[in-house]
Amino acid sequence: MVEIRTLLDTDSSTAGDPMSQRRWTHQTAEKVAQCLAGGYGIKVSATVVRRLLKDLNYSLKSNKKCLSAGNSPDRDKQFGIIKGLREEYIAAGDPIISVDTKKKELIGLFKNAGRTWCRGYKKVKDHDFRSEAQGLAAPYGIFDPQRNFGVLVVGESADTPEFAVNSIITWWKKHGRYDYPAADRLLILADSGGSNGARPRVWKKQLQEQFADEFGITITVAHYPAGASKWNPIEHRMFNEITKNWAGQPLETFDTVVNFARETSTKTGLRIEAYRDERVYEKGKKVSDKEMEKLAFTRADELGKWNYMIEPRVFCRQVNRLDHGLSNLLSNLPQPITDFWILFSEFSQGSTQTTRM
């Protein structure tokens, strides 16, 4: 015992916890046995060394992720701002969505982590070569925490801000406008990085032109600080459930990804709808200072780098909100006037949105 303690105390690879008195070393039991035989002439087996190490409060330890490198001095303040916004929107009955891009998935006969009950294993490729894949799925999620409902848009191209906004538009057109028919504002909770990050100008421009102007909705965006993405509701309330649902199943086609997402549900009532987006998105688009000046974009007084508002521009608001508000009135007008309004509305929308789902 004394010899082992002396050996480990002089070993630079030995570390410990001063509170629990637990200690650990990078030396294996076999190496300690060799050192005892070579330095002290004591011949013991590795099994005996393991028992003695346990008596000396040594144990096997792995690395523990607990040191945060992304802490910001404004971190707690931003969490308070997000909490206040959520409470305000919930009290008013206005929509809140949590958005993010899930981990990209290779499409094909590739191993997918996890296990599933079956009589025999499914054979998959022994290497995950991108060149052998049918494609790379970019699943973009939109989660409504108030309704416990999510939408997953499976992209087949690049994960760009344009793709992110089009995915949000898909949610709004197919679900959001029916779930919140009287809404005139929307709160988006997003991470600080990625296609919907706090810095990309294309993200803001697309939100302005393709969403706010198109539907007459005022958008408030609140970003979680760097290193705090795990607190984004979509991460632990939607994405992890989808991952568990397709665990151990090769994602052989894009439809496989869509179907597994649609079949995801929980005891707490989570429902998910999924769609494919087969459009091709161009990377590296830029937005000039002059283009940014044209946006109805306002940063918040507090932590404006993470919080901002995008309002519908005046003309677009008049056209789209008028179209929304006069739907009942138009039904009582003569048919020629109704037909003219429908044609005008379709023309105005087509001029601002070049691609549609």
Q: Mean pLDDT in the chain?
A: 83
Torsion angle of C-alpha atoms 227, 228, 229, 233, degrees rounded to 10? 170
pTM: 0.75
Report pLDDT digits (tens) over 86-139: 999 999 999 999 999 999 999 998 888 888 888 888 888 889 898 888 999 999
3 state DSSP class of 231: helix
- DSSP for 87-139 reads HHHHHHT--EEEEEEPPPEEESS---SS----SSPPP--SS--GGGSSEEEEE
pLDDT at 317: 54
- Tens of pLDDT, residue by residue over 303-324, are 999 999 999 997 655 545 444 4
pLDDT of residue 357: 43
Indicate the SS3 state at residue 319.
helix
* Statement: residue 71 has pLDDT above 80: no
What pLDDT, in 10s, does the model give residues 234-243? 999 999 999 9
**Domains defined for the chain, CATH in brackets:** 2-55 (no CATH), 75-114+126-312 (3.30.420.10)
Determine the pLDDT at residue 25.
52
Higher pLDDT, 121 or 271: 271
**Nearest C-alpha neighbor of 232 from the set 196, 274, 185:** 196
Helix (H) and strand (E) counts in the chain: 15, 11
Q: Where are the beta strands (DSSP E) in the chain?
A: 15-16, 23-24, 96-101, 105-107, 135-144, 149-155, 185-190, 218-223, 271-277, 297-299, 307-310
pLDDT at residue 85 tops 50: yes
